[in-house]
């Protein structure tokens, strides 16, 4: 089987974790601090606050900019559910925007349509490892005086106009889940250049604590362990190398699949650097098989795949129960794409042989299907 994701764990990670275990300092400490410093310096910001997941990092970021009950947060309808539930965690209201059909990222035109006096933040998600249209988004945010909280959970090292994503808005968030471009097992991080946001994030992560036994506001235990941070430090060393492999793998897949009728390949915005967290194609009506049929064939042949995402967020039972409907949300492109997208393995551990096998598997099934229907 060629898996859709596989973290690369080498002797370096094993040695680093063993050292932490032997030290006895397991919880948040010096190693977490080191990861924060190195990640901040990698992205090019002043502050980083490590957490125990990307989700807790999103919650922390919204709390740190002061999002509260009744505030509206503009987010995308086409992402992992946490890009919207983080608003609910602060008793705020996620308002869903539709996507651009070429990048699958949040549509600035739809942001402009849906922004109101209640909007307090825009939460762009750099989906699949490619930056959103940040020029337009930051202009809109400035005009309407709202925060920009970047969900860069899938985009470690991605760039927009020479700047790393996460560092473009007021605050940025990354996930270190094992499928991501770098991992800590479970983990996440908040980054910012704003000292006050950093301070509030640090307190929120630890029960709103300003000093021992003094709690200023409601916070949580969202701390990362030294064990996780040790994995992260080793992973960060190899992030650029892994991203380069992803880009090379993506270039091969683009070259080999571009000519197949009915497959739309990912498009790369020349303003940025795409780090290909996912390589996501679209199955059009002209393709001789349905997406389900193609998935079954890939499964049979041992090619891993993913559907990112099969359901627009507002259609999740959780949001239907809150009263969200197609009529009130109005994100037709997200709905359409959820029926068509299909992610193929692109991660650094996919070999040249694997890539040829993936491409051949698709070419062969197309040929068989066309031959049978002729």
Q: Site residues (CB under 6 A) for ligand PLP? A: 53-55, 79-80, 82-83, 125, 151, 153-154, 175, 177, 188
- Shortest Cβ distance from residue 83 to ligand PLP (Å)? 5
Least distance (Å) from ligand PLP to the CB of residue 188?
5
Q: How many residues does the chain have?
A: 374
Q: Which residues pair with 263 in a beta bridge?
A: 283
Question: Are the C-beta atoms of residues 281 and 344 closer than 8 Å to each other?
Answer: yes
Closest CB to ligand PLP among 5 and 16?
Answer: 5
Least distance (Å) between residue 195 CB and ligand PLP: 25
Other C-beta atoms closer than 10 Å to the C-beta of 185 total 18
> Closest Cα to residue 187, out of 25, 39, 54?
54
Nearer to ligand PLP, 55 or 280 (CB): 55
Instruction: Identify which of residues 20 and 84 has a Cβ nearer to ligand PLP in the complex.
Output: 84
CA 13 – CA 245 distance, rounded (Å): 20
Q: Is the dihedral of CA 94, 324, 91, 338 positive or negative?
A: negative
d(CA 125, CA 161): 17
Residues 6+ apart with CB under 8 A from 365: 289, 294, 297
Nearest distance from residue 245's CB to ligand PLP, in Å?
20
Q: Residue 164 corresponds to which tokens in the numbers above?
A: 């790393």
Give whichever of 192 and 278 is closer to ligand PLP, judged by the CB atom.
Answer: 278
Q: How far apart are CA 144 and CA 128, in angstroms?
A: 28
Work out how close the CB of 54 gets to ligand PLP at its nearest, in angstroms, rounded to a whole number. Answer: 2
Pick between residue 120 and residue 277 the one whose CB is nearest to ligand PLP: 277
Closer by beta carbon to ligand PLP, 178 or else 262: 178
Angle at 304 between CA 254 and CA 245, to 5 degrees: 45
Minimum CB–partner distance for residue 294 and ligand PLP (Å): 23
């Amino acid at each position: 089987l060629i898996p859709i994701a596989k973290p690369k764990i080498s002797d370096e990670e094993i040695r680093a974790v063993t050292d932490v275990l032997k030290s006895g300092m397991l919880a948040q400490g010096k190693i977490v601090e080191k990861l924060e410093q190195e990640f901040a310096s990698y992205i090019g910001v002043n502050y980083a606050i490590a957490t125990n997941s990307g989700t807790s990092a999103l919650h922390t970021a919204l709390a740190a900019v002061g999002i509260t009950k009744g505030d509206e947060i503009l987010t995308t309808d086409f992402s992992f559910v946490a890009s919207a539930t983080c608003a609910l965690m602060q008793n705020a209201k996620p308002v869903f925007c539709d996507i651009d059909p070429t990048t699958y990222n949040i549509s600035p035109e739809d942001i402009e349509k849906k922004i109101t006096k209640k909007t307090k933040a825009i939460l762009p998600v750099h989906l699949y490892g490619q930056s959103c249209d940040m020029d337009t988004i930051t202009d809109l945010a400035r005009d309407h005086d709202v925060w920009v909280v970047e969900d860069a959970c899938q985009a470690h090292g991605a760039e927009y106009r020479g700047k790393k994503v996460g560092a473009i808005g007021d605050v940025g968030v990354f996930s270190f889940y094992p499928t991501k471009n770098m991992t800590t097992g479970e983990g996440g991080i908040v980054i910012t250049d704003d000292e006050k946001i950093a301070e509030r994030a640090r307190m929120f992560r630890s029960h709103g604590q300003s000093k021992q036994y003094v709690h200023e506001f409601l916070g949580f235990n969202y701390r990362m362990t030294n064990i996780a941070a040790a994995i992260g430090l080793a992973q960060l060393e190899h992030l650029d190398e892994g991203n380069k492999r992803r880009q090379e793998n993506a270039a091969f897949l683009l070259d080999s699949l571009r000519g197949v009728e009915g497959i739309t390949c990912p498009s790369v915005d020349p303003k940025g650097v795409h780090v290909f967290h996912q390589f996501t194609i679209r199955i059009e009506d002209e393709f001789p098989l349905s997406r389900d049929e193609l998935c079954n064939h890939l499964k049979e042949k041992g090619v891993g795949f993913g559907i990112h995402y099969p359901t627009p967020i507002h259609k999740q039972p959780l949001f239907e129960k809150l009263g969200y409907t197609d009529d009130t949300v109005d994100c037709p492109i997200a709905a359409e794409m959820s029926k068509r997208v299909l992610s193929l393995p692109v991660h650094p551990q996919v070999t040249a042989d694997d890539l040829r096998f993936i491409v051949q598997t698709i070419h062969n099934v197309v040929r068989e299907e066309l031959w049978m229907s002729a």
